Amino acid sequence: MAGRIRSKTSPNLSSRKSISEASTMKLESLNERAASNLSVRHVSGRCLCGAVELQIDFPAFWAWHDHSAASRRAHGAAYATYIGCWRRHARVMKGQRSIARFEDANAESTRSFCSRCGTPLLYERKRSPHMVNIPRALFTGRTGREPRYHVAVEELQDWAYTGKPLMPLKGYPGIVWERPKSRRRPRDVEAFACSRFESKQSFFPE
């Protein structure tokens, strides 16, 4: 009759074997962890003038669009797009002395800028002390996260571009525009269009 073959190993030898196997597994785990640390990718971003350079571990934790008035004014744009990452995964590689900070006591947040060119660099919030937010536009390469989330979307401005179809503006290469919503255009717009932009230089001064 077929049966399972059992090893007749002494108790002492068996215990030594289990200790040896545990030590081997622990060593392999440490080696894997060390290899993982060595293979961590880094992504760098910088300000407009290049005085400050930031670096994060790839991938970022998440990415989002901020439509709040504070971020809109801080960036001078319709909205700001950030990547969020753990503070321990972000670092200033260059230009620490060129960073200026503004603390907003009401919002309990701190915003950092390049003191030379004014580029927004960091956005930190007291309620999330372990996270730091960095403008997505500082990075030319991929950060590992797509900005699929929106914050304060109720504050989205009616003049902000939201992906509507654009048409080439006749006579102005490289310029596109949104057609008015209604087919019947206001008098001033119609008159402006019919005039065919009497002077290109006056419309786009050098």
Predicted confidence band at 203 (pLDDT cuts at 50, 70, 90)?
very low
Using a 10 angstrom Cβ sphere, with 0-12 exposed, 13-18 middle and 19 or more buried, the burial of residue 43 is: buried
Ranges assigned E (strand) in the chain: 41-46, 53-58, 62-66, 80-86, 90-94, 99-104, 109-114, 120-125, 131-135, 149-151, 167-168, 176-177
pLDDT value for 40: 74
Section 140-146 average pLDDT: 94
pTM flag (> 0.85): no
Q: What pairs with residue 103 in β-bridges?
A: 110
- Buried residues in 67-81 as b, exposed as e (16+ CB within 10 A): bbebbbebbeeebbe
pLDDT value for 36: 47
Q: Using one digit for the tens of pLDDT, what is the confidence trace for 90-127?
A: 999 999 999 999 999 988 999 999 999 999 999 999 99
pLDDT of 16 higher than 70: no
Cβ atoms 117, 47 nearer than 8 A: yes
pLDDT value for 206: 45
